[in-house]
Chain A
Amino acid sequence: MSGHPTYQPQNAFMKWMEARLPIAGLIYSSFVVYPTPRNLNYWWTFGGILTFLLATQIVTGIVLAMHYTPHVDHAFNSVEHIMRDVNYGWMLRYIHANGASMFFLAGYIHMLRGMYYGSYKEPREVLWILGVILLLLMIVTGFMGYVLPWGQMSFWAATVITNLFSALPIVGEPIVTWLWGGYSIGNPTLNRFYSLHYLLPFVIVGVVVLHVWALHVVGQNNPDGIEPRQASDTATFTPYATIKDGFFLAVFLVLFAYFVFYAPNYLGHPDNYIPANPAVTPTHIVPEWYYLPFYAILRAVPDKLGGVALLGASVVILAFLPWLDRSKVRSARYRPRYRFFFWLFVATCVGLGWLGSKPAEGVYVFAARILTIYYFAHFLVVLPLLGRYEKTLPVPGSITEAVLKRASAAAVVAIMLAGLIGFSSPSVAAEADTPPKQKWSFAGPFGKFDRGQIQRGFRVYREVCQTCHGLSQVSFRNLAEPGGPEFTRAQAAAVAAEYQVAAEPDDQGEVKDRPGRLSDRFPAPYKNENQARARFNGVPPDLSLIVKARGYERGFPWFVVDLFTQYQEHGADYLVALLTGYSDAPAGVTAPPGTFYNKYFPGHFLAMSPPLTEGRITTNGKPVYDDDTPATVNQMARDLTAFLMWTAEPHLEARKRIGLQVMLFLVVFAGLLYFTKKKVWKSLGAHG
């Protein structure tokens, strides 16, 4: 990089400042006149995208920390408080949760780009290793963040991941106890994870600074993998790279916003909407999609220590890439054999990811073993051998020559979308029947609740469910808020007054019950779980979040299709199926005492007796609702489910409405940036 123009301050203050703290000069030389290879394609925009995502995670994270309570008794409810009561809280949390997925998606693309074009080769080894350190920090930070909502998946992820250390000989157990701060996962664990989850992003920022510093020392690699030699090989960072990064960031944000506003729970797990329960492990626990390949490697090894060791090695081996790949040619463009093996490696990673989402049994484990072996063989066998025996193609003399020979590369959006294969997890074991798909007014990008339907559903809840099932996250005032059943405030207050809630201590210090007010929540049907067990022969789950806490496995390729068709109503469909799915047990099967056969319930035997029967809802002696809708079992099941969809996601309507505005804005903005980019780059073409 021969000397480019340095910053010459014009006014007196900037001259004074520059002599003392040359920060303007640093920015000018690093982000304005800094020469970038002019042949960079859109895969090179992911560094900028990652920087943006890191900033987004930090800003939304700081905001969430203002409302979150790191305590085992309050964490789950404080997250629901954010989702329900905090202004725009649902949006900020969904941005943060999906932002983590976007961060890993962009990070993986960024790394694979480096692997394809040989960006780790001399003199960029340290730059690459800093990137591997960033990946490790991301993995740890993401894991700790996932624990904070303190749902079932949070709790059991914390249990499983910390137990990895117990595989170490001698020091294993003491280390696990030290990590927990107790004899099991508990409040000390949650508190320290919260503290570290706040700290680590700033460590990531520090390493990013080193990463960018190292980049600016050695310069960027490029798709042809040859160093710039003349002025016409490069374009200045601003405006050329800035506008290109900006355009593709806007395109990436369309994808990000799609998840946040239209499929916010697609990448998550229904089980994490069930509060942590140290006594019950979910039947099928899987990590978030971005850890699945590593998880598959862990489970492929039939030995505790061996599995943990290979899991660690699968990340650490990346750091040795610059020395394992001995080829003198950097870019896969001029390495036909390597190109094949690169895509084979990508397929291996995707395959491991898919296997990681499957139960660890039978053919899945066998396939995972084959792919695990290939994963390591790629680094330890294929790359060293290719370096020796591959016949590479002739490399062009200069970047300018390469650019003039080739038409500019096409956009990569389609590939990127195809690469984004989320692995939605099952929450209900596969043995049960698949619930039939229902039509819902709240489905799709323009979905809205049917007010009459959720009002009817509320009546079903009150007359059928509430003697056993609570609705603890819902306040009476919610009944009168926009986007819900939209009762009048007077109606909601009248409903509240029908319930008895614990009053504040009176003058004598006695705590008595008083009629509910709008600001109160629905009182619990039982004082504690022991009382519930004694009364109901089990603990009837709270229904506030039940629709989001249930689902069923769709399987490949449906979970991919669901993303595009916006089929997000798995929980609602399951609930209707369950409520209407009671029947006599098939011949030869007898239900254990106190249970009832239901073909949609995983395991089939359910402690809840069939709750909905014809005649449970009557108006003036007839089996109809107040609005004359016939109260059939199917109608009641659908109305109740729609009501519970609202209690689970009270801001659903606002989410879809704002989502449409955001999507329209982003499409317009991306279009404008595209034309601006074309104009800007046209001037470079004139230079030849």
Chain B
Amino acid sequence: MATTTSAEHTRRDFLYIATGAVGAIGAAAALVPLVAQMNPDASTIAAGAPIEVDLGPIQEGQVIKVFWRGKPIFINHRTKKQIEDAQSVDVARLPDPQPDSARVKPKREQWQVLIGICTHLGCIPLAHQGAYNGYFCPCHGSVYDTSGRIRSGPAPTNLPLPPYEFVSDTRIRIG
């Protein structure tokens, strides 16, 4: 090997690096399908399309649950008192400050639509329970008010809102 010139060295090194690099690219490309297959498949995505819900049969004071993308959506037909309770809170003192008006559609304050999954660790809160007569999570004791805002307990944020819109006075489309 003592006779090897530096030019040969360079050429050989380049060959080794090129081969190694192409091999590494191939290995990385082979990982793509193995990782991608764990993402939601086409049928799951299609089944996650928007759903429409008829609000007509929901009585004042009643909370119903519907499922969208496998998540429970709470639709709460709030009473006048519940709306007042939610609106009269000093927003600045809340753990996750948000006025009630930001959590309902304008002029539709009686309809509150939210994703019924506790922001702590994903349990489903019970409606009309807890100190604020809103929602109470039985797993670890998080308490939400009638606007679904966190008031006490370990949950860090308010109950999230799904994307939805009113298609008529008594019909919403979720998603």
Interfacial residues, chain A to chain B (CB-CB below 8 A): 59, 63, 66-67, 81, 84-89, 91-92, 475, 477, 481, 507, 517-519, 665, 668-669, 672-673, 675-676, 679, 683, 686
Contacts and interface: CB of A to CB of B under 8 A. Distances in A.
B15 A683 contact: no
Given A519-B46, A669-B26, A91 B19 contact: no
Given A87-B37, A672-B22, A518 B43 contact: no
Contact of B26 (A519, A665, A675, A679): A665
B70 interface: no
A519 B43 contact: yes
A536 B147 CA distance: 59
Given A59-B34, A63-B37, A669-B26, A84 B42 contact: yes
B60 to A, nearest CB: 18
B12 to A, nearest CB: 5
A679 B36 contact: no
Contacts of A665: 22, 25-26, 29
25 contacts: A59-B34, A63-B34, A63-B37, A66-B37, A66-B38, A67-B37, A81-B43, A85-B41, A85-B43, A85-B44, A87-B36, A87-B42, A88-B36, A92-B34, A475-B43, A518-B46, A519-B43, A665-B22, A668-B22, A669-B19, A669-B26, A672-B19, A672-B22, A675-B15, A676-B16
Contacts of A676: 15-16, 19
Contact of B18 (A66, A81, A672): A672
Find the residue from B18, B22, B37 having the highest chain A CB count within 10 A.
B37
A669 B18 CA distance: 9
Given A84-B42, A672-B18, 10 more contacts: A63-B37, A477-B42, A517-B49, A518-B49, A519-B43, A519-B46, A519-B47, A669-B26, A673-B19, A676-B16
B92 interface: no
Contact of A86 (B12, B23, B41): B41
A87 B33 contact: yes
Tell me whether chain A's interface is mostly helix, strand or loop, or mixed.
helix
A88 B33 contact: yes
B33 A92 contact: yes
B57 interface: yes
B46 A87 contact: no
A519 B39 contact: no
Nearest to B11: A679
Contacts of A87: 33, 36-37, 39, 41-42
B37 A89 contact: yes
B1 A683 contact: yes
B104 to A, nearest CB: 25
A197 B33 CA distance: 23
A81 B43 CA distance: 8
Nearest to B29: A665
A408 B149 CA distance: 79
Interface in B1-45: 1, 12, 15-16, 18-19, 22-23, 25-26, 29, 32-34, 36-39, 41-44
Contacts of B22: 665, 668-669, 672
B49 A519 contact: yes
A47 B34 CA distance: 25
Contacts of B46: 475, 477, 518-519
Contacts of B38: 66
B37 A679 contact: no
Interface string B119-152: 0000000000000000000000000000000000
